[in-house]
Amino acid sequence: MEIYLQGKKISLKPRQAIGKGGEADVFKLNKTTAVKVFKQPNHPDYQGQPSEQQAARDRLTLHQQKLPHFPQGLPAEVITPQELVRDGGGQIVGYTMRLIGQSEPLLRFSNRRFRHQHQINNQGITEIFIQLHHLISQLHRQGVIIGDFNDLNVLIHQLQPYLIDADSCQFGQFLTPVFTARFIDSPAMRSRRIGTHTRSTLHHRCRLV
């Protein structure tokens, strides 16, 4: 795969891949930097799936406007876009971001055996969620809402939570249609029609209960 960073052509090799999601692939660029590349409509993962191919087109169209306007000055625990990545035609196809050290998704911390193996007690878990609460509150004060908030998009490094997939966040005119079904809302709100709502800190807390 070939991309352009600050006008310089870079070839990404399969061995550099460090992550894969439904919308993008992530590669290690160097010791401190990763690059997230959005899947094109012709990506093998979308073969024979017209709806996914169209979603990829729509996503790329949106990011031509959204990524250049991404908020600055967010907390360091939010892994935000650093440099925009383009294809040979100049279209934005991804971005570089800070590479977190050895980490685990928040999901792993729900496993008792994992916590025992890593000697993480209840106080440690409490501290993680207190820090996560502070992080969410800071984002809300800056007008940023977490779109796809789930236990795979929060990485834990030395008991410090980091938010990834920041490009799905909602800010300004850029609303987010992205969510994970398991975390769409608290049971008390599931009867409501899904639409455009201003989410609160309480809403985000409920999604991780």
The 3 state secondary structure assigned to 79-119 is CCCCCEEECCCCCEEEEEEECCCCCEEHHHHHCHHHHHHCC
Helices (H), the chain: 50-66, 112-117, 122-141, 201-207
- Domains of the chain are 2-98 (3.30.200), 104-207 (1.10.510)
Task: Map tokens 């800070």 to a residue.
Answer: 98
pLDDT, mean over the chain: 88
Residue 64 corresponds to which tokens in the numbers above?
Answer: 């031509």
Residue 199 corresponds to which tokens in the numbers above?
Answer: 């989410």
Task: Map tokens 């398991």 to a residue.
Answer: 182
Give per-residue burial for 154-184: e unless 16+ CB within 10 Å, then b: bbbeeebbbbbbbbbbbbeebebebbeeebe
- Distance, in Å, from the CA atom of 111 to the CA atom of 98, rounded to the nearest integer, reads 27
Report pLDDT digits (tens) over 131-183. 999 999 999 999 999 978 889 999 999 999 999 999 999 999 998 766 666 65
Report pLDDT digits (tens) over 10-30. 999 999 999 888 899 999 999
- Distance, in Å, from the CA atom of 6 to the CA atom of 102, rounded to the nearest integer, reads 28
Task: Map tokens 């502070």 to a residue.
Answer: 134
Residue 182 corresponds to which tokens in the numbers above?
Answer: 């398991």
Least confident among 116-125, 129-138, 140-149, 186-195: 186-195
